[in-house]
Amino acid sequence: MDLDTNEAGEVAPNQYPDRTLLILPATPDGDVLAGVLAARLDGVLLGRVSDIGFDGDTLIATRPAYGGRIRLELRLAQGIAIATMNEPPAGDHVIRHAPLAVLAIDRVELSARNAALEGAHLVVSGGRGLDADGFAMLDGIARKLDGALGASLPAVDLGLAPVSRQIGQSGHFVTPRLYLAAGISGTPQHLAGIGAATRIIAINSDADAPIFRYAEVGAVADARQLLPELLRLIEG
Ligand SMILES: Cc1cc2nc3c(=O)[nH]c(=O)nc-3n(C[C@H](O)[C@H](O)[C@H](O)COP(=O)(O)OP(=O)(O)OC[C@H]3O[C@@H](n4cnc5c(N)ncnc54)[C@H](O)[C@@H]3O)c2cc1C
């Protein structure tokens, strides 16, 4: 693929030929970059796909959805497709390595509030038991540990976190290795957003809170006292 670049080595988005497939690593950064590229190139974002193949000229990508409960088959006859994948696709269809092209992308520092929830190894989540200071501490903990911020529906309703951070039945489904739930009671609607293999650590002032039934580690404590200690420890 021969692409003209300007003096800065940037490729004009309209130079990518129709029917281009860009594959990035399936990491939180890869997912974010894939979204940026799709917007810049006016491409089709396929998301995190498990398989990519071709049926004639039609690109077929398979993607798990609803936490792996169903498989989506996405078909694209033309256009620029952008996907993230754990493994490069197998098979003998032609994959050309384009010369390294540089797109002009503004870099902004990610905070835990805009770190991708999908693929995050740690989600640090707050509920109605927290206030704005509590969420600021969760944000600090998540940022220090390279995690992403989550929230319960009531915390979103209270304006403590944006709706894009909501975990649960009507929010995101997340599958981190660790899920820290602070001031969250553990209702079925919230737990529906957490993968079965995820280990939960709970902080709640009520020893009878249902979340403790699902948590591997629990602290019966006032989050207003425990979270600053935790942040201090992590900042070491
Ligand atoms: C159709 C439908 C869809 C829904 N979808 C979602 C969804 O996607 N996500 C979601 O989260 N909810 C959802 N809900 C709402 C859900 O039913 C619960 O209301 C919600 O999950 C409770 O959120 P919470 O745990 O933050 O609040 P609460 O249940 O009020 O729990 C707050 C907890 O904080 C603890 N606490 C209080 N003060 C402190 C302190 N100082 N330190 C430590 N702990 C403290 C309390 O002991 C309590 O356990 C949905 C409901 C419906 C009907």
Provide the token pair at 235.
């900042």
**Confidence check: pLDDT of 29 > 90:** no
| C-alpha neighbours within 13 Å on the C-beta side of residue 134 | 25
Separation CA 174–CA 190 (nearest Å): 11
Name the residue at shortest CA distance from atom 19 of ligand 1. 154
pLDDT band at residue 100 using 50, 70 and 90 as cut-offs: very low
Percentage of the chain exceeding pLDDT 70: 81
Task: Specify the ligand 1 atom closest to the Cα of 209.
Answer: 49
Q: 223-235 vs 132-144: helix axis angle to the nearest 10?
A: 30
| pLDDT value for 70 | 84
What CATH class is the domain 1-107? alpha beta
Name the residue at shortest CA distance from atom 9 of ligand 1. 168
The closest alpha carbon to 81, from 95, 70, 92, belongs to 95
Name the segment(s) of the chain with CATH classification 3.40.50.1220: 122-235
Task: Specify the ligand 1 atom closest to the Cα of 171.
Answer: 8
pLDDT band at residue 163 using 50, 70 and 90 as cut-offs: very high
Name the residue at shortest CA distance from atom 11 of ligand 1. 152
Least confident window among 12-26, 182-196, 209-223 = 12-26
Higher pLDDT, 137 or 87: 137
In the reported structure, the alpha carbon of residue 59 is separated from the centroid of ligand 1 by a whole-number distance in angstroms of 42
Name the segment(s) of the chain with CATH classification 3.40.50.620: 1-107
> Going by DSSP bridges, is the β-strand pair 148-151/44-48 parallel, antiparallel, or unpaired?
unpaired
> What is the per-residue pLDDT across 45-98, written as a single tens digit (0 to 9) for each?
999 898 888 888 788 999 887 767 788 999 988 888 999 988 776 655 555 444
Task: Specify the ligand 1 atom closest to the Cα of 128.
Answer: 26
Name the residue at shortest CA distance from atom 18 of ligand 1. 187
Cβ atoms of 198 and 181 closer than 8 Å:
no
User: Domain 122-235: which topology?
Assistant: Rossmann fold (3.40.50)
**Confidence check: pLDDT of 102 > 60:** no
Percentage of the chain exceeding pLDDT 90: 52
Separation CA 115–CA 139 (nearest Å): 11
The closest alpha carbon to 181, from 99, 126, 121, belongs to 126
Give, for 178, the enclosing helix (H) or strand (E). Answer: strand 178-182
In the reported structure, the alpha carbon of residue 76 is separated from the centroid of ligand 1 by a whole-number distance in angstroms of 41
In the reported structure, the alpha carbon of residue 151 is separated from the centroid of ligand 1 by a whole-number distance in angstroms of 9
| Residue count (the chain) | 236
In the reported structure, the alpha carbon of residue 129 is separated from the centroid of ligand 1 by a whole-number distance in angstroms of 8
Separation CA 150–CA 134 (nearest Å): 13
Q: Please give the average per-residue pLDDT across 5-11, as a whole number.
A: 62
Q: Which residues contact 189 (CB under 8 A, 6 or more apart)?
A: 153, 168, 169, 170
Q: Please give the average per-residue pLDDT across 141-158, as a whole number.
A: 95
Residue ranges around ligand 1 (CB below 6 Å):
127-129, 152-155, 166-171, 183-185, 187, 189-190, 193, 203-206, 209, 222-224
> Going by DSSP bridges, is the β-strand pair 122-126/148-151 parallel, antiparallel, or unpaired?
parallel
